[in-house]
Structure 1
Amino acid sequence: MDNSSLNVLILAAGLGTRLRPLTNDVPKPLVPVVDASILDLQARKARAIGNVRLHANAHYLAEQVVEAGKALGFEKVWVEQPEILGTAGPLRRIYAEGYRGGLLVMNGDAYCNFDLRAFVNNAQAQAARPDGPQVALLAVDFPKVNTFRVGADGRLAGIAGRFGETSGTPATFSGVSWYSDAALSRIREGESDIREFWKQEIAAGRAPFVDMTQQRATWIDMGSPEGLMAAVEARLKELGRDVNEAVIEPGVKIPAGVTIRHSVIYAGAEIAEGETVENEIRGKGFKWTVLCHPERRTEGS
């Protein structure tokens, strides 16, 4: 195979439990966010880097992710059955299957506006230095989480409550990371928790580089109703539209006399004639009230 391209893995195997019943029939990475799914939006951002091969993993409602991957031109969607392989497992598998050229990892439930090309260039430049780090992690500043501890050398020194140093600059992992082929080759068979691999790299004197240059970029975990609304608002803003407008999934019929403001309406939503819907997400069998208008937030991974 051609190994001159950068491989990109979008993690899309989550169960979407915080968005049920919306995710009863559609996996979280395929939930529409205004005009496209997060899987689609992440793929677009990855392609902006240049020459890439797109991969995704899938588990819950995997057949839908496989079909979406085909439509979006993915190299492959790796189905994980009967169990999810964590994060480390899919990384090791891509390397074991012979893919080379480095690997960029992204989350399939995060709305963000990172400059991925700048991040990859920075990561590759760090790795090219003598004894340079072969893993790079993109960090944001989110005090609610901020479990990373970054040393004065710009490398990961520890994770609060997990391992390593308790001092250092606090930061939050964005879910975006880069691995050289050499780093991927060191992930052990059966390893699932990528944090354990980072710990091993630190112990071996190869601590991951933490890129702190995009800390104020938009980064939203859309895995909760609040996060989903925040992602919708961010997408509307990106499209130059009013963040308070109604977003209605194509094909949904709205009864006469209905007023909808700052709300998202998905297929199957029950709406009465003359009703006013405001600050809500509605769909088949659910109605969520979402009042906030966050610019940047996460609900945790």
Structure 2
Amino acid sequence: MENCSLNVLILAAGLGTRLRPLTNDVPKPLVPVVDASILDLQARKARAIGDVRLHANAHYLAEQVVAAGETLGFEKVWVEQPEILGTAGPLHRIYAAGYRGGLLVMNGDAYCSFDLKAFVRNAQAQAARPDGPQVALLAVDFPQVNTFRVGADGRLAGIAGRFGATEGTPATFSGVSWYSDAALSRIREGEFDIREFWKQEIAAGRAPFVDMSQLNATWIDMGSPEGLMHAVEARLEELGRDPNEAVVVPGVELPAGVHIRHSVIYAGAQIQPGETIENEIRGKGFNWKVSGH
């Protein structure tokens, strides 16, 4: 299946355990964030690159992700059953199916403001150099993590606690990466952990390029209640609205006299008439307190 379009894979197979019970009935990539799901928002950002083919993988509540992919115009949603294939597995599947044109990988649980077009352009420019790196990883500065060790040559030298150099510029992997067709051809069937593939690339003298040009861009892991609230705030600001605004999911009917500030109300939330709600996320079977903006 030869084509020259850039393929984009949005990883959407996770179990969403940190957001249970919200994710009991909906997979994390489809949790509403103000006006759209993260899967939808990531797809929009990917399409801004230009000519792309959208893919997603799915495992937990896979039928919902498949349906969303059809609605959003995805090329294909790759269902992983009975087991999740990690990150390396879905990359191998897409290449083995004949898709060509390179592959951009994004997370289905991260709210971000990256310039993806610039990242892909930088990655392709690096790959075009003689002996240039065929894998590019977009980094952020997140001191709580910062496990990457980046060498003076701008390439991945190691990951703290796993392999490689202990010295180098610290950074955090954003979950956004790019692979040339040549790199994808080297991911073996049955490979699971993409970090092991990066390790192999380093050992072979093909260390991935680490793009550190967008270190201070917005990057939010929405996999926890606090992260979800931060994603809601960021989306409200992106829409030109007050980040302290109350967000009530369509279809939720509020009792009389309820006052809500800096909170998100999902279907099934228990709310009393006249109640004041602030700094909370509520839904069916849960009431999470979150920090104020």
User: How high is the TM-score relative to the length of structure 1?
Assistant: 0.97
Q: How does 1:183-198 map to 2 (within 5 A)?
A: 183-198=183-198
1:2 Cα offset (Å): 5.0
For residues 220-240 of structure 1, the C-alpha deviation after alignment (integer angstroms, 9 at most, x for no partner) is: 000000000000000000000
- Runs of at least 5 residues in structure 2 that lack an aligned partner in the other structure: none
Question: How big is each residue's C-alpha offset from its partner over 1:211-257, in whole Å with a ceiling of 9 and x where there is no partner?
Answer: 00000000000000000000000000000000001000001000001
CA positional deviation for 1:291: 1.2
Deviations 1:169-219 (A, max 9, x none): 000000000000000000111100000000000000000000000000000
- The structure 1 segments of at least 4 consecutive aligned residues displaced by more than 4 Å after TM superposition are none
Cα root mean square deviation, aligned: 0.5
Matched position secondary structure for 1:44:
helix
Matched, 1:7 2:2: no
Q: Is the 8 A contact 2:262 2:292 kept in 1?
A: no
Q: CA deviation at 1:281?
A: 0.1
Q: How does 1:41-80 map to 2 (within 5 A)?
A: 41-80=41-80
Partner residue, 1:296: none
Q: Matched residues in 1 for 2:251 and 2:34: separation?
A: 14
Q: Residue by residue, what CA displacement relative to the aligned partner does 1:85-116 show, whole Å, maximum 9, x if unpaired? A: 00000001100000000000000000000000
Aligned AA (1:256): A
Aligned match of 1:151: 151
Contact 2:2 2:98 in 1 (8 A): no
Helix, strand or coil for the counterpart of 2:39?
A: helix
- Aligned twin of 2:232: 232
Q: Which residue of 2 aligns with 1:160?
A: 160
Say which SS state the counterpart of residue 121 (structure 1) adopts: helix
**Percent of aligned pairs with the same residue?**
88
CA distance in 2, matches of 1:35, 1:135: 34
SS in structure 1 at match of 2:54: strand
In structure 2, the residue matched to 1:283 is 283
CA contact (8 A) 1:152 1:168 kept: yes
- 1-structure distance, mates of 2:147, 2:4: 35
Q: Which residue of 2 aligns with 1:108?
A: 108
**2:32 — aligned with what?**
32
- Aligned residue for 1:192, secondary structure, equals coil
* Equivalent residue number for residue 170 of structure 1: 170
Question: What TM-score, normalized by structure 2, do the two folds share?
Answer: 0.99
Gaps of 5+ in 1: 294-301
Q: Counterpart of 1:223 in 2: which secondary structure?
A: coil
Secondary structure in 2 matching 1:119: helix
Do residues 134 (structure 1) and 126 (structure 2) align?
no
What is the alpha-carbon distance in structure 1 between the residues aligned to residue 26 and residue 189 of structure 2?
A: 31
Q: Aligned partner of 1:49: which letter?
A: I
Q: How many angstroms does 1:292 deviate by?
A: 4.1
Alignment-mate amino acid for residue 81 of structure 2: Q
Offset, 1:77: 0.1
| CA distance in 1: counterparts of 2:188 and 2:72, whole angstroms | 31
Which residue identity does 1:108 align to in structure 2?
G
Provide Cα deviations, 1:68-89, integer angstroms capped at 9, x if missing partner: 0000000000000000000000
Does 2:219 align with 1:219?
Answer: yes
Given that 1:226 and 1:292 are in contact with CA atoms closer than 8 Å, whether structure 2 keeps it comes out as no
| Cα-to-partner distance string for 1:110-148 (whole Å, 9 max, x where unaligned) | 000000000000000000000000000000000000000
2:133 partner SS? coil
CA contact (8 A) 1:43 1:54 kept: yes
Cα offset for 1:4? 1.1
